[in-house]
């Protein structure tokens, strides 16, 4: 009997304790769930790297303190955690940083950073030497060179071994070209690792060509002055001379006896133009008044 009484009292005590703790327990269960907080990814700019650089750590973190995950979007690189390893090739690398949230934090917006990978340092190398060509006065001559090297080599064009002022680009334009531009051209390429000289390119410069226009001359009468007309494409004055027949030429005026007269037009050229190829015209000269021959 005493044992049963103690059991009943124990049960009553537990029931009373439940009544006392019940409101507090219900109050604790009713507390609202905390709202997840926003976070951002702090991703610094990444400087340019050389293709030969050793693996390096990327400065990136989340404002929540949670771990940030890196992936390679494109480019010659791979990642392991925050460590980036370059493949050894030049190019543009794009990295993406992400944090999916958790522990009371919302997922962060992805952040991306790009950086350039330059070629491995190397001495200058001429990959496309300049090519010479013949030209005539007044034409345009363009010489070009292809050079590789890292850092990018400085260029200097030379004519007959003498540096040309201001000629430091991959192309050299001679416009208009003159006789003084003839010579052997090369390029000196240099950077911190060395220098290279291109093969020579020979430019020859000749005088410009010209031609004559000497229209046929109509038949004339003995002793009748004939005005000769011819022109050169150069615009230089034309000279006339008697080739055969009886008569004489003064300037551009021909005076001849009867018969057949040949007159040649010439232009000897100058410092710019070559001599023109001569042109000859034959003129028929008829008898004078009453068929008499004039003295």
Burial 152-179 (b: 16+ CB within 10 A, else e): ebebbbbbeeeeeeebeeeebebeebee
- Determine contact, residues 245/256, Cβ cutoff 8 Å: yes
CATH of 123-206, one of 3.40.50.10470, 2.60.40.10, 1.20.1440.230, 3.20.20.70: 2.60.40.10
- Which residues touch 58 (CB under 8 Å, ≥6 apart)? 46, 70, 79, 82, 83, 84, 95, 113
- 3 state SS for the chain: CHHHHHHHHHHHHHHHHHHHHHHHHHHHHCCCCCCCECCCEEECCCCCEECCCCCEECCEEECCCCCCEEEEEECCEEEECCEEEECCCCEEEEEEEECCCCCCECCCCCEEEEEEEECCCEEEEEEECCCCEEEECCCCEEEECEEEEECCCEEEEEECCEECCCCCCCEEEECCCCHHHCEEEEEEEEECCEEEECCCEEEEEECECCCEECCCCCCEECCCCEECCCEECCCCCCEEEEEECCEEEECCEEEECCEEEEEEEECCCCCCECCCCCEEEEEEEECCHHHCCCC
The yes or no reply on domain 212-291 and CATH 2.60.40.10 is yes
Instruction: Return the pLDDT at 137.
Output: 97
Q: Which stretches in the chain have pLDDT values below 70?
A: 1-31, 289-295
- Determine contact, residues 133/141, Cβ cutoff 8 Å: yes
The yes or no reply on domain 41-118 and CATH 2.60.40.10 is yes
Can 41-118 and 123-206 be said to share one CATH topology? Answer: yes
Task: Write out the two tokens for 251.
Answer: 């300037």
Instruction: Return the pLDDT at 17.
Output: 43
Domain ranges of the chain: 41-118, 123-206, 212-291
The residue among 43, 40, 73 whose CA lies nearest residue 57 is 43
- Determine contact, residues 282/260, Cβ cutoff 8 Å: yes
Instruction: Return the pLDDT at 59.
Output: 92
The sign of the CA dihedral 103, 104, 110, 112 is negative
- pTM for this predicted structure: 0.63
């Amino acid at each position: 009997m005493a044992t049963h009484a103690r059991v009943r009292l124990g049960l009553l005590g537990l029931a009373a304790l439940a009544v006392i703790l019940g409101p507090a327990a219900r109050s604790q269960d009713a507390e609202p769930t905390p709202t997840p907080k926003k976070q951002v990814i702090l991703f610094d700019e990444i400087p340019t790297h050389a293709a030969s650089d050793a693996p390096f750590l990327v400065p990136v973190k989340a404002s929540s303190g949670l771990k940030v995950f890196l992936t390679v979007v494109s480019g010659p690189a791979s990642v392991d955690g925050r460590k980036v390893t370059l493949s050894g090739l030049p190019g543009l690398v794009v990295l993406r940083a992400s944090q999916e949230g958790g522990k009371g934090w919302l997922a962060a917006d992805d952040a991306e950073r790009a950086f350039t990978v330059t070629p491995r340092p190397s001495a200058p190398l001429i990959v496309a030497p300049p090519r010479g060509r013949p030209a005539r006065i007044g034409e345009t001559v363009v010489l070009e060179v292809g050079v590789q090297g890292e850092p990018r080599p400085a260029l200097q064009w030379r004519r007959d071994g003498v540096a040309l002022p201001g000629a430091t680009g991959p192309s050299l334009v001679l416009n208009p070209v003159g006789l003084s531009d003839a010579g052997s051209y090369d390029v000196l390429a240099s950077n911190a690792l060395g220098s290279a000289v291109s093969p020579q390119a020979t430019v020859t410069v000749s005088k410009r060509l010209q031609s004559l226009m000497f229209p046929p001359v109509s038949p004339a009468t003995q002793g009748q002055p004939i005005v000769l007309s011819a022109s050169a494409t150069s615009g230089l004055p034309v000279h006339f001379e008697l080739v055969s027949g009886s008569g004489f030429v003064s300037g551009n005026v021909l005076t001849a006896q009867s018969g057949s007269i040949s007159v040649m037009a010439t232009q000897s050229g100058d410092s710019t133009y070559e001599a023109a190829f001569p042109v000859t015209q034959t003129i028929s000269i008829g008898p004078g008044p009453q068929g008499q021959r004039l003295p």
